[in-house]
Structure 1
Amino acid sequence: MFHKSTWLHLRIPFSFFLLPVFLFAVSISPNLNPDRLLIVFVVLHLFIYPASNGYNSYFDRDENSIGGLKNPPKVRKELYFTALIFDVIGILLALQVNLTFAVMVFIYGLVSKAYSHPSIRLKKYAWISWFIAGLFQGFFTFLMAYAGINDFDSSVILQSKTLMPAMLSSLILWGSYPMTQIYQHEEDIKRGDRTLSYVLGIRGTFHFTAIFFTMAVGAYFLYFSQFFAVRYGWQFILALLPVLIYFIYWYVQVRRSATAADYTHTMRLNFISALCLNAFFIYFFLDHTHVLQAIRAGY
């Protein structure tokens, strides 16, 4: 029986914040199958993401708040082995879909481990860790989910119609990623980790995110307008208005006192952002596939 601390460090509920990439892949998938859909969801959100969380927690040994845990308990050796077991289970389940999906799951696991493992520890390098984290949690994860959901191999997923939304997934993560580090400056620097948020500073992190997020939203607008309908572009912007409102509110608080750049505000922004994106992609899928119209018609 696992200790409570191990389960807490797996941070399974934290997978909610990474769900938008999966839902985006679902929303434009042409070859949906309920069984594959369920397996891909379980592999990513119940095994691979928690394995990554647990593995990184084991090597970070944080004493202060981390994503999804305000007061993280001390880690045990059990966490290390549990993370590896979760990885193995995720890969075995992925093989039930196809080899491409399984190989990509394996690669994702390796990269996520490099983020905190002391022999590599990408987290020490501000721009490199920012780029790789955004690339693999966005671009790569989108392609991985798309390959699994549709049972496609690499020759199909490496087409422009797939690479474009995959890159959009990274753009929005590159914009928001520094905000997830804004409350950890003190602990990061004690370990010698120069995160991008630390390099930018608290206000600089807000400014960087505002600029990059605006670019990302503009790119999404162009994508939906060109490949679907312009109304989806406007609806995407409308869906993210709560994020903008809270972001501005928090920025004003930080301008008054840097202490407002804390765990609680960060998690609130993450939750609002994930909630808005998840809701939009679910709506987008139901609407452009005409499921909503069928429901309204009584089918």
Structure 2
Amino acid sequence: MITRSTLLHLRIPFSIFLMPVFCFAASQAVHLTWQMYFIVFVILHIFVYPASNGFNSFYDKDEGSIGGLKNPPKVNQDLLTTSLIFDIIGLFFSFAFVNWQFTLLVFIYGLMSKAYSHPSIRLKKYAIGGWLTVGLFQGACTYLMCVLAFEKDFLTAQNGFEVFFQQRHLFAAGLISILLLGSYPMTQIYQHEEDSKRGDKTISLLLGIRGTFIFTILFFGMAAAGFYFYFSTYQDEFYFWLFQAFLAPVLLYFVYWTFLSWKDAKQANFLRTMLLNVLSSLSMIAYFTVITLIKFL
């Protein structure tokens, strides 16, 4: 029986914030089927991501707000056990319903998420190392992992890793990592005090509140330029402008929040951070789902 504390720390609804990467991969896969879409969604968002959340919470033992939980309950041993069981289920389903290549990538993702939190390594306490780990593995690695699963029946090479050598997919994977590298510091902006107490020097703590906003603006600018080139080259310029239309509410809120936080640092809080996460995640999920559906019409 999973305890209420454990269920809350698994933060299954929080997986929606990682869903845009999955949706982007689905929108760019040539041979996507709805069956594989559902299988990969369940593996990642019901098992793999919650397992990572639970493992992270067990070793962090946060007392203040964390992503998806304003008032996290105390953790217990059941949380660690459950997170590892979820990992095993995710790997089993990956091997049973996708292939061994996808399973290997899920396993590597799981190892890196544990290295991020476990006290023997704890990449989280290193500003640059933790930032790069999240950006590359939740971004590029997850994108390529999903595309590999979606295209598995059409890969011809014996090793099944062709997507890692396709220029279009490598470009797309790089773009989604740039987006995450820019947005991830914003998710840490309200945790400076607690991170300092634990000795975790996050990238947002290193940058400061103003620096975090400026840093995110720069990376989002790079991502926007990259997406313009990507859609103009591999699809149609129309898709870039449609993307900007879907992201307009996020941009307006971000600008508004930036001005508020520069006047009063207390505005860089949990609730405003979660609102930005919800707005940006839902906007990107909606956009990538729309262009996925266009392929089937």
TM-score class normalised by the smaller sequence: over 0.9
TM-score scaled by length of structure 2: 0.96
Q: Which residue does the alignment assign to 1:141?
A: 142
Q: Does 1:66 pair with 2:66?
A: yes
Q: Which residue of 1 aligns with 2:100?
A: 99
What is the match of residue 112 of structure 2?
111
**CA deviations over 1:8-39 (Å, ceiling 9, x no partner):** 00000011011111011111111223332221
- The one-letter amino acid paired with 1:92 is F
Q: Give the direction of change, closer, same or farther, for the CA distance of 1:72–1:147 in structure 2 (3 Å limit).
A: same
- The alignment partner of 1:240 has SS state of helix
Deviation at 1:196, TM superposition (A): 0.4
Match of 1:258 among 246, 265, 287: 265
Match of 2:252 among 245, 249, 260: 245
Aligned counterpart in structure 1 of residue 287 of structure 2, from 262, 271, 280:
280
Deviations for 1:165-190, whole angstroms, at most 9, x for unmatched residues?
Answer: 11111010011010000000000010
Per the alignment, residue 13 of structure 1 pairs with 13
In 1, Cα distance between the equivalents of 2:108 and 2:283? 29
**Offset at 1:283?**
1.2
8 Å contact from structure 2 (residues 43, 90) kept in 1 = yes
Question: CA separation in 2, counterparts of 1:43 and 1:247?
Answer: 32
Q: Is residue 33–residue 150 contact of structure 1 (8 Å, CA) maintained in 2?
A: no
Q: Is residue 221 from structure 1 mapped to residue 228 from structure 2 by the alignment?
A: yes
Give the match's secondary structure for 1:237: helix
| Gap regions ≥5 residues in structure 1 | 292-299
Report if aligned partners of 2:168, 2:234 keep a CA contact under 8 Å in 1: no
Q: What pairs up with 1:13-52 in 2 under 5 angstroms?
A: 13-52=13-52
Name the CA distance, whole Å, in 2 between partners of 1:267 and 1:145.
26
Write out aligned runs for 1:169-188 (5 A): 169-188=176-195
Give the equivalent residue in structure 1 for 2:86.
86
Query: C-alpha separation between the residues in 2 aligned to 1:137 and 1:178?
Result: 14
Checking the alignment, whether the CA contact within 8 Å between 2:144 and 2:163 is kept in structure 1 is no
Aligned residues: 290
Q: What secondary structure sits across from 2:117 in the alignment?
A: coil
Partner Cα separation in structure 1 for residue 241 and residue 33 of structure 2: 30
Instruction: Measure, in 1, the Cα distance between the counterparts of 2:207 and 2:288.
Output: 31
Conservation of the 8 A alpha-carbon contact between 2:147 and 2:163: no
The partner residue of 1:158 within 165, 169, 172 is 165
Query: In percent, how many aligned pairs have the same letter?
Result: 53
Contact preservation (8 Å) 2:250, 2:280:
yes
Superposed displacement of residue 290, structure 1: 5.3
The CA distance in 1 between the partners of 2:29 and 2:39, in whole Å, is 15
| 1:294 aligned residue | none
Distance 1:278 1:255 in 2: 29
Aligned position for 1:125: 126
Q: Is the 8 A contact 2:6 2:76 kept in 1?
A: yes
* Cα distance, 1:81 vs structure 2: 0.5
Considering only aligned residues, what root-mean-square deviation do their CA atoms show, in Å? Answer: 1.0
Deviation at 1:221, TM superposition (A): 1.5
Structure 1 letter corresponding to 2:285: N
Q: Secondary structure at the match of 2:139?
A: helix
Larger deviation: 232-241 or 95-104? 232-241
Residues 5 and 73 of structure 1 are in contact (CA less than 8 Å); yes or no, is this contact kept in structure 2? yes
Separation in 2, partners of 1:86, 1:117: 17
Q: Secondary structure at the match of 1:285?
A: helix
- 2: CA distance, partners of 1:106 / 1:34: 24
- Residue 221 of structure 2 aligns with an amino acid whose one-letter code is T
Q: 1:161 to 1:194 in 2, by over 3 A?
A: same
State the TM-score, normalizing by the size of structure 1. 0.95
Q: How far apart, CA to CA, are the structure 2 residues paired with 1:131 and 1:156?
A: 22
CA contact (8 A) 1:221 1:236 kept: no
Q: How does 1:196-211 map to 2 (within 5 A)?
A: 196-211=203-218
- The answer on whether the counterparts of 1:146 and 1:157 sit within 8 Å (CA) in structure 2 is no
